[in-house]
Structure 1
Amino acid sequence: MLRNGWRPHPFRQYLLKVHSRCNLACDYCYVYTLADQSWRSRPMVMTPELVAIAAERIAEHAAAHDVRSVKLILHGGEPLLAGHTYLREIVETVRGKAGPDLHVDAAVQTNAVLLNEDTLRSFSDLDLTVGVSLDGSRRANDRNRRFANGRSSYDLVSDALGLLLTPEFRHLYNGLLCTVDLANDPIETYESLLQFRPPAIDFLIPHGTWESPPPGRFPDSPKTPYADWLTAIFDRWYGQSGETVVRLFQEIMNVLMGGSSASEAIGLTPSTVVVIETDGTIEQTDSLKVVGQGAPGTGLNIVDHPFDAALEHPGMVARQLGWDALDDTCKACRFGRVCGAGLYPHRYRPGSGFRNPSVYCPDLYRLIEHIHSRLVSDLRRATR
C-alpha cells in the first residue's frame, strides 16, 4: 500500500488495556482527569473472549507483514487489579495464538501497590517484565500519586521495588516511570529514584495541548521550566557510566549522533504502537485523551476489523509520516529532525489540528541544544 511513496509500518507494540479502573487517584492521570472520559462507559476487565480475539488479530497482523517479534504491554487503569492469574492467562493466550514463528515479549506497567511475591513468581515463569511508576521521594511521589482517600502509596511501592531488587526477581525489572512535577526538586527526584537501582528511568512530561497547556507551560512564553528541570538532571547524569539509562536523554543523543529514536516523544521514527481497550476498541496512542472526548478513537474494534484497517486511519498515518507530518516552523528549525515536534498529542491546537510545533517547543529546543552543546564540547576535546 503506497501513498506518495509512503508505506505503512506494521504494528509491533500492542498496549492491551486489561483493566480500566485504578486503585490510585493520581491527579495528573490522562485516563481519568483529562478531556476524554470514555473509561466510564467501558467494561472494567477485558473478557477472555476478547483476549482470544486480540491474540488472533495480533498473530494475523504479524503473519501478514512477516513480523517475527512483537511487544505485548499489559496496561490499564491498573493491570494488577485483574489479578496475576488472569494476567498469566492473557500472556499465555497471546503467545499460544502467536505460534512458534512469532516471539511475544511481554511487559506490565503498574503502580506496584499490589505487587507481591506470588505475582512476581508468576511473572518470572512467563518472563513478564515489570515497569513501575514512581515520582521520586516520598514527598515528591505523594504530591500526586495517592489513594482516593489521600493515603500515601509510597511505602507499598517501595516495598514492591525491594522485591524486584532481590536476586530472584531482578531480571524482571524494566525500570521506573516518573512524571515531571515542577514543584519537585529535580536532583532530589533523580537521586531518590536511583536509590531503587533502576535499569532505566523514563521522565514523562505532563500531557497538554496549546488549548489546555500543561502546568507551568505558558504557550506564548519563552521561559523553559521543563527544560530547566530536565537539564539539571542531565548534567548530574551525563558521564556517570553505568548509573542508569535515562531514556529521554539517550534518545536525544542517539538522534543527534545520526541514529534513530525508539520513542514517539523524540525524532521521526514511525509509531508502531496500537491500543486495545477493554471493550475491544482499537485506539491510537491513549495520550490523545488530553485532546478531547473520543480523540484517540479509530471507529474500529478487534471483533470486526483487522489491525490492517487501523493502519489506514489518518491519525495512525500522521504518526508514521515523520518529516512530512511536520509544519513549516518545525521543518525550518535547527533541531526539527531531532525533536520531531515532540509527542503527537502535544501539537494539538484548535483550528489547525496537529500540524503545529509541540506546546513544549521552547523547552524541547533548549533541552536538545543543551545536550548538543555537551556532546560537541566532548567530541572536540576527544579529537584534539
Structure 2
Amino acid sequence: MFPVSCEQNRSTLGEFLAPWPLSVLDVPALRRTGLRPVPVRQFTLKVHSRCNLTCTYCYIYHGVDGSWRDHPPRVSASVMRQTAHRIAEHVRTHELSEVRIALHGGEPLLSGPGVLVDYIRTIRAALPADCALRATVQSNGTLLTEQALDRLAQEGIRVGLSLDGGTPAFNRRRVDHAGRPSWRRAVRAARLLARNPQSYAGLLCTVDVTADPGEVYRSLAALRPPVLDLLLPHGNWSNPPPGLPVRAPEAARTGARGATPYGDWLAAAFDQWWGSRANEGPPPRIRIFSEIIALLLGLPSALEAVGLSPTAAIVVETGGKIEQLDSLKQTYEGAVVTGLDVFHNSFDESLDHPGVAARQIGVAALGVTCRACPVMAVCGGGNYAHRYREGSGFRHPSVYCHDLERLIRHVAAALASATGNERPVPAVSARPPTAMP
C-alpha cells in the first residue's frame, strides 16, 4: 500500500543517524530474557494532516521531518474502520479494561466535528463491552464553536487546547498562514470550554523562556483548565532548543552546570502554582509538577517527560501508517517510521520495533551518565526525543539535563519544607553529579 523504497530508505538512514536503538538494541534477545512488551493503551489518531495555523515553533511543519506532506489530508472511512478493528484486536489480545484515544492533526476540526464523532463511534462499536474508551481531541481552538462542542460532548469527546499564555502577547508565535494572530478565536474557545467543564480536557503550553513565568501561569489559570501541561520545546543535542547553547552530551557529565534557563523558568512557575494551592483554591493540575512530586514520594510516573515508566502509546496517521510519537519529528527525517500500517500489521508488531521497545525498558535505555546521576529515578532521562544526537542516537542524557535537575531539586526542597522533612527527599541524593569518564 505504501512505497516500499521510501520506507526502506528512511529505515537505512535511521540506522546511520540513530544506531541506538535501531541497529544496536536486540529486541528478540530482550524477549528471550522474559521481558514482555507493555501493550498500547494510548492511541493518537490523526484525523487531518494539515493545519490552519503555522506556529513558528511547530515541529510538525517547521521541523526537520517533512513527512506530513506524504499523508492524505483527511482520514478515510476505510482507515477508521481498520484502525478500530486493530484497536479492538489489541484490547482482546491483552484483555485491556480501558483505552485512551487522542484525536490529533494538524488541526482535527478542519474535518468538522462529524468525522471525529464517526471515528469514536466506529472504535466504540468495535471494542468489547467491558473496555472503557476515553476520548479527547487536541485543537488550536480556532474552529471550535458551541455547536461543534455540543456534538463532541454527545459522544463523550473532551477538548484540549493549545495556548502559550492567556494574553495576546504570549501567543504571538501562533499565527495563521497570512501571519494573522489566532488569539481572539483561541481564547473564545477557551472561555467556551470553561463554561462547559465536563468537556474541558485542559491546556497545552510550550514554554517560552523570554516570557514571564508567573504571568504565563496566572493568565492560563484564569482560563480555568482542569489540567495544564507546560511543555519543553522539542530540541536535542543536534538541534538545541531556543536559549540553550550548542553543546555535546559530554557537557552533562560534569558537575559544573552552566545556565539553566528552562529549569529556572519552570521553578518560578512551580512557585506560583505551589503558592496558589493555599491562597486561591484548587489550581489546575500541572502534570510535570505533580508527576515529579509523585516520583519524589516513590510513586510511578504517568508522564513520559519524567520517570522510568514504560511508554505505551502509538500513532496512526491519516493514511493508516503506524508511527512512533510525533516528538521524534524534531530529530531526523523518518524518525517516526515503523514500516507498519493498520491494513497489514497489528499493534503487537509495533511493540517489537526497536524505537518503541527502547521506550519501555527503563534504566536499560539510559547511558552511564544518567545511571550515575542522583536524580535519575525522578528524571528518568527526560523525554526520549530530547536525548538524540546525530550519529549515535538516543542513549544520551536529555539536552535539558541540567534544567531538569534544577527543577527536580527545587520541587524536592519545596516538598521537604512542606512536610517538615529536613533530610533530602529519598528519591534525590544530596550529592552533586560526579564526572564520568
Report the TM-score when normalising by structure 2.
Answer: 0.85
- Residue pair 1:10, 1:65 contacting (<8 A) in 2 also: yes
1:92-111 equivalent positions in 2, closer than 5 A:
92-111=121-140
1:175 matched to 2:215? The reply is no
Amino acid aligned to 2:36: R
Q: Residue deviations 1:42-98, cap 9 Å, x none?
A: 100010100100000000011001111100100000000010011111110010111
1:222 matched to 2:258? The reply is yes
1:283 matched to 2:323? The reply is yes
Counterpart in 1 of 2:371?
331
- Residue pair 2:172, 2:181 contacting (<8 A) in 1 also: no
- Residue pair 1:140, 1:184 contacting (<8 A) in 2 also: no
Q: What secondary structure sits across from 1:349 in the alignment?
A: coil
Give 1:110 shift: 0.4
Q: What secondary structure sits across from 1:262 in the alignment?
A: coil
Unpaired runs of 5+ residues, structure 1, are none
- Residue pair 2:163, 2:171 contacting (<8 A) in 1 also: no
Counterpart in 1 of 2:97?
68
Q: Residue deviations 1:311-333, cap 9 Å, x none?
A: 00000100000111111110100
Counterpart in 2 of 1:254?
294
Give 1:150 shift: 1.4
- Residue pair 1:141, 1:154 contacting (<8 A) in 2 also: no
Counterpart in 2 of 1:159?
188
- Residue pair 1:108, 1:128 contacting (<8 A) in 2 also: yes
Which among 131, 156, 167 is matched to residue 160 of structure 2?
A: 131
Amino acid aligned to 1:74: L
Give 1:2 shift: 3.3
Amino acid aligned to 1:296: V
> Cα gap change, 1:361/1:288 in structure 2, threshold over 3 Å: closer, same or farther?
same
Counterpart in 1 of 2:308?
268
Unpaired runs of 5+ residues, structure 2, are 1-29, 252-256, 424-437
Q: Residue deviations 1:128-186, cap 9 Å, x none?
A: 111101101334433211112111111111111121122xx220101110001112111
Give 1:111 shift: 0.3
1:235 matched to 2:271? The reply is yes
Which among 143, 152, 162 is matched to residue 114 of structure 1?
A: 143
- Residue pair 2:416, 2:422 contacting (<8 A) in 1 also: no
Q: What secondary structure sits across from 2:31 in the alignment?
A: coil
Q: What secondary structure sits across from 2:223 in the alignment?
A: coil
Counterpart in 1 of 2:107?
78
Counterpart in 1 of 2:63?
34
Counterpart in 2 of 1:358?
398
Q: Residue deviations 1:272-297, cap 9 Å, x none?
A: 00000111111111110011110011
Q: What secondary structure sits across from 1:243 in the alignment?
A: coil
1:197-216 equivalent positions in 2, closer than 5 A:
197-216=224-243
Q: What secondary structure sits across from 2:276 in the alignment?
A: coil
Report the TM-score when normalising by structure 1.
Answer: 0.97
Aligned counterparts of 1:285 and 1:50: Cα–Cα separation in 2: 19
Counterpart in 2 of 1:193?
220
Amino acid aligned to 2:267: T
Aligned counterparts of 2:231 and 2:283: Cα–Cα separation in 1: 19
Aligned counterparts of 2:51 and 2:131: Cα–Cα separation in 1: 32
Q: What secondary structure sits across from 2:420 in the alignment?
A: helix
Amino acid aligned to 1:204: L
Amino acid aligned to 2:132: H
Amino acid aligned to 2:165: G
Counterpart in 1 of 2:7?
none
Aligned counterparts of 1:165 and 1:267: Cα–Cα separation in 2: 31
> Cα gap change, 1:85/1:92 in structure 2, threshold over 3 Å: closer, same or farther?
same
Give 1:7 shift: 1.3
Aligned counterparts of 2:32 and 2:218: Cα–Cα separation in 1: 48
Percent identity, aligned pairs only, is: 47
Aligned counterparts of 2:389 and 2:283: Cα–Cα separation in 1: 39
Aligned residues: 381
RMSD (CA atoms): 1.4
